[in-house]
């Protein structure tokens, strides 16, 4: 009732019990509330998962995944999910930070729901009960497209940018060509999380050793643009971490042709103070950094072009 009189509020789904079990009908929120205020999260996790046994399972908990997927489906800005520890706070921040800037305040041009016959209108989804699967497609006027699978049991195979992706329960993807590419989806039979934008790259391999775009290794890591260079933040204990350059098609253009401009690499403590120079090498097209005791991140200074 107060939408438009306040700038934003908890993005709650109200119901008598278990809000997270309610099907996703995003139309009223996206078409009406979006124009008036900017809501965050799905409320906090305690609001959304009321009457459900959470938050067990750490940052790879299906409840964490569902909280992120629902936030994106309903077009809300991020809620810092510290309920899943520091790793959850970092992951919730980087999964949504750049993406929310693409949709906050915008009403979509198109909303569709997945069904046995493909994407259908809201009226068709309600008439056929397809909306009960909560598999939502949204297209915004700036070209951003969002796919979010709110089903608790069913996968959704969607064609995204000409490639078929499998979105598991609470999986999602968002794409705006040249600006941002986000997904939490299956890759070679394993679920991975990925953000590639003009400001950062975030990867969580969920325990698998693999390469996604410019990031190679095992674990979760942030690579972000900062004044004068690049920061690498291991969000978990990482193994075999290497940072590659990107090609011209990547939104993360700050990682294009940067290896030859590296001046120094230093370890930065949680206090923000430098704790020592890091040894580094570039081989096989990848930068590898030797860890520095006491460092929580690494700042790579780049020479001017």
Q: In Å, what is the CA distance from 196 to each residue of 208, 215, 216?
A: 19, 10, 14
At residue 81, the pLDDT reads: 93
- Model confidence at 14, in pLDDT bands (50, 70, 90)? confident
Q: Is 303 left (phi over 0), alpha (psi -120 to 50) or beta?
A: beta
C-alpha 205: how far from chain center: 13
Measured in residues, the chain has a length of: 305
Residue 268 corresponds to which tokens in the numbers above?
């930065």
* Close Cβ partners of 270 (under 8 Å, ≥ 6 residues apart): 296
> At 47, which helix (H) or strand (E)?
helix 45-48
Q: In DSSP terms, which residues pair with 111 in a beta bridge?
A: 138
260 has a pLDDT exceeding 80 = yes
At residue 54, the pLDDT reads: 82
- Model confidence at 270, in pLDDT bands (50, 70, 90)? very high
Q: What is the pTM of this model?
A: 0.95
- Average pLDDT of the residues in 170-178: 97
- Average pLDDT of the residues in 278-286: 94
- Average pLDDT of the residues in 213-239: 94
- Model confidence at 253, in pLDDT bands (50, 70, 90)? very high
- Model confidence at 300, in pLDDT bands (50, 70, 90)? very high
- Model confidence at 196, in pLDDT bands (50, 70, 90)? very high
How many whole angstroms separate alpha carbon 182 and alpha carbon 270? 28
Q: Across the chain, what does the average pLDDT equal?
A: 95
- Average pLDDT of the residues in 110-128: 97
- Model confidence at 53, in pLDDT bands (50, 70, 90)? confident
- Average pLDDT of the residues in 89-94: 96
At residue 217, the pLDDT reads: 95
57 has a pLDDT exceeding 80 = no
At residue 135, the pLDDT reads: 98
């Amino acid at each position: 009732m107060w939408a438009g009189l306040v700038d934003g509020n908890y993005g709650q789904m109200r119901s008598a019990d278990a809000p997270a079990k309610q099907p996703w009908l995003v139309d009223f929120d996206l078409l009406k509330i979006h124009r008036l205020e900017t809501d965050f999260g799905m409320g906090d996790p305690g609001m959304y998962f009321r009457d459900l046994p959470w938050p067990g399972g750490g940052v790879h908990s299906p409840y964490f995944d569902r909280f992120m997927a629902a936030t994106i489906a309903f077009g809300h800005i991020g809620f810092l999910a510290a309920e899943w520890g520091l790793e959850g706070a970092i992951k919730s921040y980087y999964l949504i930070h750049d993406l929310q800037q693409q949709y906050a305040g915008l009403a979509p041009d198109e909303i569709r729901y997945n069904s046995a016959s493909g994407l259908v209108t809201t009226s068709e989804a309600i008439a056929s009960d397809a909306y009960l699967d909560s598999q939502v497609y949204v297209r915004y006027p700036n070209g951003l497209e969002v796919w979010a699978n709110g089903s608790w049991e069913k996968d959704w195979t969607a064609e995204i940018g000409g490639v078929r992706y499998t979105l598991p329960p609470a999986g999602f993807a968002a794409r705006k060509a040249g600006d941002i590419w986000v997904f939490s989806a299956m890759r070679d039979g394993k679920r991975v999380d990925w953000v590639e934008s003009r400001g950062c790259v975030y990867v969580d391999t969920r325990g698998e050793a693999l390469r996604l775009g410019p990031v190679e290794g095992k674990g979760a890591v942030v690579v972000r643009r900062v004044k004068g260079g690049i920061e690498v933040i291991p969000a978990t204990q990482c193994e075999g971490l290497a940072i590659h350059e990107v090609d011209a098609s990547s939104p993360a253009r700050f990682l294009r042709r940067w290896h030859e401009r590296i001046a120094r690499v230093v370890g930065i403590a949680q206090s923000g103070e430098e704790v020592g120079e890091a040894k580094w090498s570039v081989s096989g097209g990848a930068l590898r950094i030797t860890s520095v005791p006491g460092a929580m991140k690494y700042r790579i200074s780049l020479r001017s072009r």
